[in-house]
Amino acid sequence: MTRRTGTTRFTGKVAVVTGAGSGIGRALALRLAGSGAALAISDVDAAGLAETADRCKAGGADVKADHLDVTDRDAVVSYAGDVLTRFGTVNQLYNNAGIAYYGEVERARLEDVEHIFKVNFWGAVYATTAFLPHLVASGDGHLVTVSSLFGLITFPGQSAYNASKFAVRGFTEALRQEMLAARHPVHVTCVHPGGIRTGITRRLAVADGLDADAIAGVFDRRLALHSPEMAAAVILDGVRRRRARVVVGAEAKALDWLARVTPSGSQRAGVLMARLLGLSPSPRSAL
Ligand SMILES: NC(=O)c1ccc[n+]([C@@H]2O[C@H](COP(=O)([O-])OP(=O)(O)OC[C@H]3O[C@@H](n4cnc5c(N)ncnc54)[C@H](O)[C@@H]3O)[C@@H](O)[C@H]2O)c1
């Protein structure tokens, strides 16, 4: 199905996209640029970000591209000020930067768990709090946070990632309620993608002794069903419709439904799925 991204929510708007150097963030940036938005894009990956910026500019978009590590709280605050100075207003924030991790609780290093939270949870919190006053002041704000299907259901080996994505979902949903209660002109959308073919598995971190290539290979071959372009189209359609929640992919919708109908049954289904995929017990490194 081809989805049309209506331009009225995007033309002439200033949109901020974190983690725009690859995958869903790049696809969002390109689609926003094609819909007439001005863009503030950032990433820790300089080469990936430069490519996104060049492609957006080639379509005629006004683009500010910056190195930004979303775990650096002071840098995020100062970046928000720079974006406001450059564009005069900020309408939309896409909290997209994120990383993946695989490792059972019994073997995960606490430093890795903390790092997942720094990027996936605190990164989104820092950007949200830095940009929220500007979104409110714009009179027409929209904040989007990319959680995950794993912010709706749990999966063996994903405790750290699950927890970070459930946390960012709770933060985002409560923020939406606060915007409604305060009658602030800021819509809030939490996004839950299923398996998307992006660079996330190239950057996959795993617990000691696990085989990152084998785990990434299972994800790429068996679970990454959708293109980032499809994800971006669905997300921006949700923004246009001011949806509170956007679930990307039929498999994600089915698993979300299962978890709501039978929470404990969906946990057992996850164990079975991990076994069928050869992920449980985890593939061990040959080293
Ligand atoms: N790919 C999927 O199947 C999938 C599914 C559900 C949710 N997600 C979420 O979608 C978002 C985008 O992921 P993707 O799949 O496009 O992955 P990706 O790796 O292709 O893109 C993520 C980008 O974030 C950047 N990044 C990582 N750490 C950063 C930091 N500290 N500061 C700034 N930028 C940083 C990376 O350099 C990369 O360019 C993530 O939040 C991810 O958790 C992805």
Q: What is the pLDDT of residues 232-268, one digit of tens each?
A: 999 999 999 999 999 999 999 999 999 999 999 999 9
Give the strand pairing for 38-43 and 101-102: unpaired
Given pLDDT bands bounded at 50, 70 and 90, which one contains residue 287?
low
How does 129-157 read in b/e, with b if 16+ C-beta sit within 10 Å? ebbbebbeebeebbbbbbbbbbbbbbbbb
**How far does residue 73's CA lie from ligand 1's centre (Å)?**
18
User: What's the CATH fold of domain 14-276?
Assistant: Rossmann fold (3.40.50)
Pocket test for ligand 1, best of 99, 122, 227, 229 (most atoms within 8 A of CB): 99
Q: Tell me the per-residue pLDDT of 29-74, one tens digit each, with 9 for 90 and over.
A: 999 999 999 999 999 999 999 999 999 999 999 999 999 999 999 9
Provide the percentage of residues in the chain whose pLDDT is more than 70: 97
**How far does residue 171's CA lie from ligand 1's centre (Å)?**
18
Asked if residues 9 and 142 have their Cβ atoms less than 8 Å apart, the reply is yes
Ligand 1 atom closest to 165 (CA): 43
Average pLDDT over the chain, rounded to an integer: 96
Give yes or no for residue 1 having a pLDDT over 60: no
Give yes or no for residue 194 having a pLDDT over 70: yes
Ligand 1 atom closest to 193 (CA): 6
Region 112-133: mean pLDDT is: 98
Asked if residues 227 and 218 have their Cβ atoms less than 8 Å apart, the reply is no
Looking at residue 285, its pLDDT comes to 82
Ligand 1 atom closest to 224 (CA): 3
Q: Quick one: tokens of 192?
A: 């839950």
User: Count of alpha carbons within 13 Å of 91, Cβ hemisphere only?
Assistant: 15
Given pLDDT bands bounded at 50, 70 and 90, which one contains residue 8?
confident
**How far does residue 249's CA lie from ligand 1's centre (Å)?**
17
Looking at residue 286, its pLDDT comes to 63
Provide the percentage of residues in the chain whose pLDDT is more than 90: 95
Give yes or no for residue 177 having a pLDDT over 90: yes
Q: What's the CA gap between 203 and 68, in Å, rounded?
A: 17
Q: Tell me the per-residue pLDDT of 207-220, one tens digit each, with 9 for 90 and over.
A: 999 999 999 999 99
Given pLDDT bands bounded at 50, 70 and 90, which one contains residue 86?
very high
